[in-house]
Chain A
Amino acid sequence: MKRLFLALALALGFAAPAAAQGGGTIAITGGRVVIGDGTPPIDGGTVLIRNGRIVAAGANVAVPPGATTVDAHGKWVTPGLVAGFSRLGLLEVDAVDETNDVRAPESPFNAAIDVTPAVNPAALAIAVNRAAGITRAIVAPGVGRGTIFAGQGAVIDLGADMEPVTRPRAFQFVELGEDGAGFAGGSRAAAYIMLRNALREARDLRLPASARRPGGPDLSPDNPYLQGSAARSDDVPLTRFDAAALVPVLEGTQQLFVHVERTSDILQVLALRQEFPRLRLVLVGAAEGWRVADRIAAAGVPVLANALNDLPATFEQLAATQSNIGRMRAAGVKVAIGMLNDEDGRNIRVQTQYAGNLVALTRVPGATGLDWDAAFAAISGAPAEIVGLGEEIGTLRPGRRADVVIWDGDPLELSTGVEAVWIDGVPQPLTNHQTELRERYRQPQEGALPHAYIRR
């Protein structure tokens, strides 16, 4: 009975019964289970959820009495997908400025900017991507004007509730390629001096240990460095807030995401650690990464790469190829798909297509792709690991947050649809503006009343 009700609730997108609201025990049985860590799918597996966490997933998982069971025979059951790099929740319509919080060209601040208050869990893009199986996203601000620092990004969930933030201030995002050069005043050299100076200012702040918190600076009012009690020299282009925000980057308690594409730019970024040894670097973009994959691997720097760039769209990616991710991974680089392109604010859902294309490359002579298991991990477990949340999200390993998706087929295949989504063990609605428009216009001609009267 419970089982029937849940199935019905999911099908209709209604709230599920209290037992399934994150707290109860749910067993999803009989499906092809993908863990998301690069291991092969398990046929006829069970995923067991309790109190919003994964208890177990795989074969031979016992279903405890009283569990709400969901029959997934013939289906695929996977962790919710993770957007490795995105602007989800920061905009409604890209070209409608007042709805777009990605960048702040008129702001006096840069590194201190923290995207979390801008995230709108009710944005249509959240609902649309949730319905496509995306459950978590790494969200980065964009760079404003006169700076290379975009500010601090967050990890969010795509749940239909008003508490979207999984980890605030997870990383600082900086531009050091063509864009960085432009923002810094016109050259890459200017961008690097801007970076060095900013880190110098952060060092000179000599924040007390209490401010060197993992996950970002202490921005509470009792942080003495934000009260203006410490003197600074006049030689400081950064605001106090911005300089304080870079202390955790300098100390290595907050990751530094760096967008570069060109081979030489990648090497320059890797070299930064000679000067600033504690930097925890992540490369974003890295279209030419395959050319120095061994050096990226040796540096132990992970990469969030656009999957399918294969055009010399700029002079910094002349060597772009769809084999980039495959070749980097083959060289030992920890790499995941991150979207830094036209789709990053709204259409992260195409990352299943991107991952599928990387599998297609394995059948193209001369190309290097990913096997299916690695391709799926590149949009689930791998980005979670890279952002330091591998113990929390991205896979169905025990103890992780219960972000689970049931698909009607291979999740990377174009014909596949999502049947159910849980986030933190809570069943999620899959309807949105787009699904309701579809239903309204099943018949384009007016009937007895105008379309405005047609609602589900």
Chain B
Amino acid sequence: MSSKLRFLLVALAGATAIAACANQAPPQSASAATRSSAPRYTPPADPYPSTYRPYPSVPTAIVNATIFDGEGGRIEHGTIVMADGRIQAAGGPDTPVPEGVTRIDGTGLWVTPGVIDVHSHLGDYPSPGVSAHSDGNEATSPVRPEVWAEHSVWPQDPGFTRALVNGGVTTLQILPGSANLFGGRGVTLRNVPARTAQAMRFPGAPRGLKMACGENPKRVYGRRSQMPSTRMGNIALARQTWQRAVEYRERRARDPNTPRDFALDTLVEVLEGRILVHNHCYRADEMANMLDMAREFGYHIASFHHAVEAYKIADLLRENDTCAAMWSNWWGFKMEAYDAIDENVPMVHNAGACAIVHSDDPNGIQRLNQAAAQALAAGRRMGIDIPDEVAWRWLAINPAHALGIDDQTGSLRVGKRADVVLWNGNPFSVYTRPQVVWIDGALMYDMNNPRLRPVTDFELGQPGEGDTK
């Protein structure tokens, strides 16, 4: 399949959005009130728990580097100390470096928290993109909240390693595609090569629910003469589904012997606030409809994904505490992307809403730092002057918030997981690449060491094995 065809498949049938939210505040008061008055529901234990364990690490300090801390702070000639898989210290040149730690001279180099992508289909639409690998859309019904993206993840997707090596990506959410109104559960992964998806799963990270509005669901099902075939059909079917979930929750609370419905289990966990909604939505008017639906049923949308018209309703996003996860310069590939503008990310940020740069693409995920740089520059040209270190939030603490893992990663705060990238220059320059990447303090990539260049099973013994990619 050509890349073009593959793109159309993903972007039109399967692409999605997900994301997060800026301020991690609990869902709005209206929905909170709904929840408190509703019958309690006991969630099933997680039958597919994470088996991820951090790899061994050696205490390491980087000194005299320029540090973007991921929350908007910048330290010149900074020191960062990692040990036991955690950030032990991050500060200026006078930060003490314990005896015996491996010391790296960061002169002329930059240090950031690892890049977080809230919207990826790696593993679900892996390389090679043959139809046997097309596992991202359970496009057999517009309502499929019972499927879990993690059960499609092929850990041998070479895309994971490219995202690590070229993109400095340490955490990513894998989402189902956007063919369905309810696409299924998303899963947040550590970007560590593994034999199983469980061994990549971010411990304790809440799962996501992928929802979609707009062209994709109505096209996929409309051409089968099935609901939804219109945007109003999208909303009607989604509302009816939420109503079923509300009634199911009440039934289960009254009668624990009510037969389990895995689809509605997912939705009830959303209503209970344990699963975060990541909503693929392009147009401003449709995002407003989705915000109303969330209010009607008492859930919170963590983030809109793609959100190419977020700039038109940045105030609404701010008021609803919903993030927008966006590209820097994708536009026009489908009708609902026609009003995309290069300044979307900085305009959302400037309005006080939570802005995220996402990829939705196995190539784009290798250059999220560059996408953020493009957005930043577009903003500056229109007079929105955001400092570099603040813009790094779009790749760090903001997506961590949206994923509900900002207490674990997304910044270089002491005690957090030591997910760290050492860049060989300013990471907002096109001439810069990751030099070293640590995940939970473990050295997972070193540009200068070919043995620290991961090679997937798929690539082993094949042309180009172990090459710089």
Contacts and interface: CB of A to CB of B under 8 A. Distances in A.
B152 interface: no
Nearest to B340: A434
Residue among B8, B215, B464 with the highest chain A CB neighbour number at 10 A: B464
A359 interface: yes
Contacts of B382: 438, 442
B312 A441 contact: yes
B333 A95 contact: yes
Contacts of A124: 332
A311 B158 contact: yes
A451 B339 CA distance: 14
Category for how many chain A residues contact B: 35 or more
Interface in B338-356: 338-343, 347, 351
B428 A291 contact: no
A227 interface: no
Interface stretch (A4-12, A191-199, A320-328): A320-328
Contact of A438 (B11, B341, B429): B341
Contacts of B447: 364-365
A357 B329 contact: no
A413 B459 CA distance: 32
Interface in B366-421: 366-367, 370, 373-374, 376-377, 380-382
Interface in B2-40: 2-4, 6-8, 11-12
Contact of A437 (B4, B339, B362, B377): B339
Contacts of B313: 444
A176 B436 CA distance: 40
B141 interface: no
A92 B333 CA distance: 8
A93 B431 contact: no
B123 interface: no
Nearest to A342: B7
A286 to B, nearest CB: 14
B448 A315 contact: no
Interface string B175-205: 0000000000000000000000000000000
A92 B4 CA distance: 16
Contact of A319 (B347, B376, B463): B463
Given A320-B464, A347-B330, A366-B468, A415 B377 contact: yes
A441 B333 CA distance: 22
A313 interface: yes
B221 interface: no
B51 interface: no
Given A95-B12, A416-B377, A364 B311 contact: no
B463 A434 contact: no
A346 B332 contact: yes
B155 to A, nearest CB: 15
B43 interface: no
Contact of A441 (B347, B432, B459): B347
Given A93-B332, A414-B377, A313 B129 contact: yes
B240 interface: no
B458 interface: yes
B171 interface: no
B332 A312 contact: no
A311 B127 contact: yes
B325 to A, nearest CB: 18
B433 A360 contact: yes
Contacts of A356: 430-431
Nearest to B467: A321
B8 A321 contact: no
A350 interface: yes
A311 B366 CA distance: 11
B166 interface: yes
B377 A444 contact: no
Contacts of A367: 468
Residue of A342, A353, A356, A438 with most partner-chain B CB within 10 A? A342
Contacts of B338: 93, 433
A310 B162 contact: yes
Interface string B427-462: 011111100000000000001101000000011001
Contacts of B340: 434
A68 B376 CA distance: 34
B424 interface: yes
Given A93-B334, A342-B3, A438-B343, A414 B467 contact: no
A206 to B, nearest CB: 36
B159 interface: yes
A417 B382 CA distance: 11
A128 to B, nearest CB: 8
Given A311-B162, A441-B347, A414 B428 contact: yes
Interface of B: 1-4, 6-8, 11-12, 127-130, 158-159, 162, 166, 215, 311-316, 329-335, 337-343, 347, 351, 362-363, 366-367, 370, 373-374, 376-377, 380-382, 424-425, 428-433, 447-448, 450, 458-459, 462-464, 467-469
Given A322-B166, A344-B4, A357-B370, 8 more contacts: A308-B363, A310-B469, A311-B363, A321-B464, A321-B468, A359-B430, A433-B338, A437-B311
6 contacts: A291-B463, A310-B366, A342-B4, A356-B431, A359-B431, A360-B431
